[in-house]
Amino acid sequence: MAQPFLSVIVPAYNEESRILAGLDILARYLRGRGYTWELVVVDDGSTDRTAEIASQWASSVEGARLLSIPHRGKGSAIRHGMLNATGQYRMMCDADTAMPVEYLDSFIRHMEEGFDIVIGSRQIEGARRFGESPLRHFLGRLFNKAVHALAVRDFQDTQCGYKCFRGDVAEKLFRMQRTDGWGFDVEVLYLAVKNRLRVLEMPIDWYHRKDSKVRPGVDSLSMLRDVFAVRLRAMTGKYNAPSGRPHGPQGAGQSDQEEAKVDQENRGKCGDVNGATRSETYRLAIVIPTYNEAQNLPALTERLFALPLPETKLIIVDDNSPDGTAEVARNLKPQHGHKLEVIERKQKSGLGTAYQVGFAKALRDGADYVLQMDADLSHAPEYIPGLLQALDEADVVVGSRYTKGGGVDGNWGLKRRLLSSVANMTIRHATGLRVKDATTGFKAFNAAALRSLNLDECRCKGFGFQAEVAYACQKNGHKVVEYPITFYDRAHGKSKMSLAIILEAMWRLSLLRWRRPA
């Protein structure tokens, strides 16, 4: 499929009452344009019927598609949409169509004049606001003053929900963007200024909707917290490290000399065991062991293959699941072809051996990077681009609940939280592991690092295999970093974890330090 001229990204959270009308307006307008387009709706874990309505609508509209992600906030939804979109230009639009859709032509016209980013503004000369309360307007201006003082001074309206990016610029900025909440706009514009991009602030008409999701008091404080976080990251140099390169001959806003400097810096980092950095054409293998995951597998594969990744192969290793998981996997194969491999084992032989089989297959097939994850949707696939990005400076990346920024599902009770924390703490102290999340099953490996491990030495066949692999990586001197994730409750089915399994793993792992090499 040829690259569309324009991608329109619409974030949505609990928008069932108005999503359909807004999408119809956008689609009717785009059909009348003389260019190719795609419309990407990103449902941010809505608890109402938003995803269902958008899915039905998208299935009947050529060029439209729905992406569903766990709820983290508008910043997360926009980032996911921008990195999944493929357009030459990428436009974010609010679901409430508060700006007349006819302004899209003006955005495109200015982009074609050579700007890297065009942002809609409700504040500069020529802009008009309709229906906004004095209190909301006052709080908005107060927030803008804080933005000027703490982050970026160049713009009168950072929070308008209508912004257009050149495709390569979107790739660069949104791979660096970390804010999941309302304040993400400030971070993106700060990064744009830092990278000396050409940004135009364009006046628009804007109509306040009474059913707006923004709560002026509470959300203003949340956005202010996000701005402080941007300032802190800037002061501590968090934005200085390369965080992904845009597609195209040259990084957005960079001179040839600066680009060469970045290349030189990248070559000096630990992108893999041989010191090389991740290219744009790498081969990725995702290994997923399954046992009674028939209900979860279709949704998982859909979300995985919707990710903006190059050549990706999914390897499913099933342990003769009685619920027909292997059959479900086989039925998915015609849809995905060579991208999906199903390995069926005759009996339940344990999580550890399933990973060993999957890893061996991935390495034989020539994968550059190998990623492991659970099949029950407790590991959100949308974290994968971030995990892979972190491999630019590491050999192994661990998706961690217990590093700063990580967490667990809000539905977890106190007993489950304590059990998980105590198990991790005990294993870390017994083995000397430095990673905070020793038992996570969400990891990304450089192939060379994975190949260097002697997995035949692993004694744990189940839960403890995760910590044993982390220990082997540390013992072999590989650089292991933790990437913050939220660990969600499984979507369907029953957890296979039990106290007995944890105690057995803790006993076996406690012997690691005294084990002699084979």
**List of domains in the chain:** 6-235 (3.90.550.10), 283-514 (3.90.550.10)
Least trusted range by pLDDT, from 48-62, 356-370, 423-437: 423-437
Average pLDDT over residues 230-253: 55
Greater confidence (147 vs 256) lies with 147
Residue 20 above 70 pLDDT? yes
Tokens, residue 405: 């920024």
Residue 448 burial (10 A CB sphere; 0-12, 13-18, 19+): middle
Tens digits of residue pLDDT in 460-488 = 565 567 878 888 888 888 999 999 998 88
Pairing of strands 163-166, 117-121: antiparallel
Please say if the pLDDT value at position 266 is more than 50: no
Given a contact cutoff of 8 angstroms between Cβ atoms, the answer to whether 319 and 290 are in contact is yes
Three-class DSSP category at 343: strand
Q: Tell me what the mean pLDDT of segment 133-137 comes to.
A: 70
Please check whether residue 270 is in contact with residue 467, taking contact to mean a CB–CB distance below 8 angstroms. Answer: no
What's the pLDDT at 210? Answer: 62
Does residue 174 sit in helix, strand or coil? helix
- 249, with CB counted inside 10 A (0-12, 13-18, 19+), is exposed
Strand 128-130 and strand 205-207: pairing? parallel
pLDDT at 506: 53
- Going by the DSSP 8-state scheme, the letter that residue 365 receives in this structure is T
**Mean pLDDT, residues 316-334 taken together:** 94
Average pLDDT over the chain reads 81
Angle of CA points 366, 371, 377, to nearest 5°: 140
The residue ranking higher by pLDDT, 417 or 212, is 417
State how far the Cα of 348 lies from the Cα of 320, in Å rounded to an integer. 6
Of 84-93, 232-241, 285-294, the one with minimum mean pLDDT is 232-241
Ranges 236-245, 318-327, 336-345, 394-403: which has the least confidence = 236-245
Q: Which residue has the higher pLDDT, 466 or 77?
A: 77
Task: Quote the Cα angle for 402-471-454, to 5°.
Answer: 140
Q: What sign has the CA pseudo-torsion 127, 132, 138, 140?
A: negative
For the chain, the 3-state helix, strand and coil shares in percent, each to the nearest 5, are 40, 15, 40
For the chain, what's the residue count? 518
The per-residue pLDDT for 58 is 94
With b meaning 16 or more CB within 10 Å and e meaning fewer, what string describes 48-83? eebbebbeebbeeeebbbbbbbeebbbbbbbbbbbb
- CA-CA-CA-CA torsion sign (235, 236, 237, 241): negative
The amino acid occupying position 252 is A
Q: Residue 193: is its pLDDT beyond 70?
A: yes
Residue 247 pLDDT grade (very low, low, confident, very high; cuts 50, 70, 90): very low
At 45 the pLDDT is 92
* pLDDT of 198 over the 70 cut: yes
Calpha distance 480→414 (Å, rounded) = 29
- Which value, to the nearest 10 degrees, does the dihedral of the CA atoms of residues 245, 249, 253, 255 take? 110
Q: What does R_g of the chain's alpha carbons equal in angstroms?
A: 24
Per residue in 415-457, pLDDT tens? 777 777 777 777 777 677 888 888 888 999 999 999 888 777 6
Helices 465-475/414-431 angle, 10° precision: 40
Q: What does the pLDDT read at residue 263?
A: 35
Q: What pLDDT sits at residue 276?
A: 38
Which range, of 43-57, 74-88, 109-123, 400-414, averages the lowest pLDDT? 400-414
Calpha distance 129→433 (Å, rounded): 57
The residue with greater pLDDT, 253 or 220, is 220
Least trusted range by pLDDT, from 112-116, 128-132, 204-208, 508-512: 508-512
